[in-house]
Amino acid sequence: MSTAASNPGPLLGRDAEIELLAALLDGVQDGGGALVLYGEPGIGKSRLLAAAAALARERGFMVLSATGVRSEAHLPFAGLHQLLRPLRFRMADLSGADRAVLDAAFGLGPDPAPGRFRIAMAVLDLLGEVATDAPLLILAEDAQWLDRPTTELLAFVARRLQADPVVLLAAVREGYPSPLVDAGLPQHRLSGLAPAAAMSLLDASAPRLSPLVRDRLLNEAVGNPLALMELPVTAARLEPVAPGSLPLTQRLEQAFTARVSELPDATRLLLLVAALSDQEGLSEILEAAGAVAGGKLGPDLFEPAAEAAVIDLDLDSVRFRHPLIRSAVRQTAGVLRRRRVHEALAETLRGDPDRRAWHRAALISGTHEQIADELEEAARRARRRGALAVAVTGLQRAAELSPAGQRARRLLAAAGLAFELGQRDLVVPILHEVGQLDPDPAERARAVWLDEVLHARPLGDGPRAAGRITDRRRRAGRPGRRSRLATRHGLAYRLAGVDGGSGAHGTQGSHRGRRPPGDARVG
């Protein structure tokens, strides 16, 4: 179990929902009511049911609850038995006929199970009897996995609570059919937390995240509370990877793939291709999936996923309803399966060299200089169109696939672009990686320059400055012209503080766009 699983964190950004639940409970003396909460996995339905239970107990309610589990969804009235078990001693207050009906429904008597209407009426009588002592709150959690006879009975009861001080709250996962959803009861859809609440929850869950990782998690979580608490558990494994490829905890993976696992095989293949594709075009996804399947696949095979609220589908595009569904689909597929899909996408994208290079580079290791060259060219084009973050990622991946003699050059190019972006979190580990290699003197000088500008501080008085200049020359290697120039160029920023300069040179942003002599960065 993850840390987040055992620590639910604060309930933030749900003031409106808490007010709605409190109003429903406070109005119970004027008549009962029902409410169905629904939304995506991890959106906070269970937390709100727990909050409702706490509010109800403060108001003197008795609380009954049942939680659906898939392993019992085929057992008739398993959920009802769970719900009514705390009332087994009150059944003696029922009429003999009603008591016999419930015993038969639970398989406790010799009589055959009666009709559903008789069972529902007996339950309604029992709940009304209990509610004469204290108002009653009924909770149905994960109602999409309660057995159908139980949900049909609860829907029947919920429509007949006006005369009794009874409130029924049900939580249903979006994309699942349920009689409670179709019963015409009041419903409330839970959406993601507002940005301010999402940031507060993430900071409470993981206060020491770097700004880069923090922004990435906020973007991918889209306000989902479970994701905001669980994603930091795997944040240490984050690398500069494509959207939709965040590593998920087991809890998140299970939450976001539960519905996908129930879909037909051909639909799951299409979803995997869509998850690994960086664009939403329906035609290229179908073409690549057909290459993997060995035959043409039609768009109708996406319809089960659309009906299950996994994707949004239109005439020419397919979009995942939540980025973490995409991440979960990718993560649950085997490596060989994903590699085959990337190969099919690369073949489909022969006319798009930039995207093709990324798919060719996926899930391979070792030295592949041709693919590294293609990624470097793609990074060059990305930089020219202003997509610096894409260029940084491309250069880093190119360096991973490069022979030893090309690795430092590509890493330094990535570090320079990351510095332009103001992403110190990226520059520092890249420079550290360069330091583990064997760069040539010019590359070493560029690394020293970046390090100096990144950590710009006044050098101090004359003797201290001279000592540091000597040290920097030693670090830059043999004093070729380009290495001397690059070292002096970096040191000039810090010398600016010796005679009482403005100090502006001590900020990272003031150097953005400047390059050392001999810089070999892309573009």
Closest CA to 261 of 313, 334, 310, 299: 310
pLDDT of residue 115: 81
Per-range mean pLDDT, top range of 192-196, 419-423, 453-457: 192-196
Residue 464 vs residue 42, higher pLDDT = 42
Q: Name which of 21, 33, 310 is nearest 190 in CA terms.
A: 21
In this predicted structure, what is the pLDDT of residue 289?
A: 97
Per-residue pLDDT at 233? 85
Q: Using 50, 70 and 90 to split pLDDT, how confident is the model at 496?
A: very low
Q: What does the pLDDT read at residue 3?
A: 40
Instruction: Identify the CA nearest to 492 among candidates 463, 521, 468.
Output: 468
List own/partner pairs for 50-57 with CB under 8 A and 24 or more apart: 51/11, 51/14, 51/18, 51/21, 52/21, 52/25, 52/137, 52/139, 52/169, 53/137, 53/139, 55/18, 55/21, 55/22, 55/25, 56/25, 56/135, 56/137, 56/167
pLDDT digits (tens, 9 = 90+) for 322-347: 999 999 999 999 999 999 999 999 99
* First-residue to last-residue Cα distance in the chain: 47
Record the pTM. 0.74
Kindly tell me if the per-residue pLDDT of 381 is higher than 50.
yes
Distance of CA 393 to CAs 39, 115, 134, 401, 523, Å? 34, 64, 62, 13, 15
Q: Average pLDDT of the chain?
A: 84
**268-320: pLDDT as tens digits:** 999 999 999 989 999 999 999 999 999 999 999 999 999 999 999 999 999 99
pLDDT at 426: 87
User: Does residue 69 surpass a pLDDT of 50?
Assistant: yes
The secondary element (H helix, E strand) that includes residue 129 is helix 116-130
Place of tokens 């898939």: 70
Work out whether the CA dihedral 41, 44, 50, 52 comes out positive or negative. Answer: negative
Which one has a higher pLDDT value, 360 or 505?
360
Quick: pLDDT tens for 189-233.
999 999 999 999 999 989 888 888 899 899 999 999 999 999 988
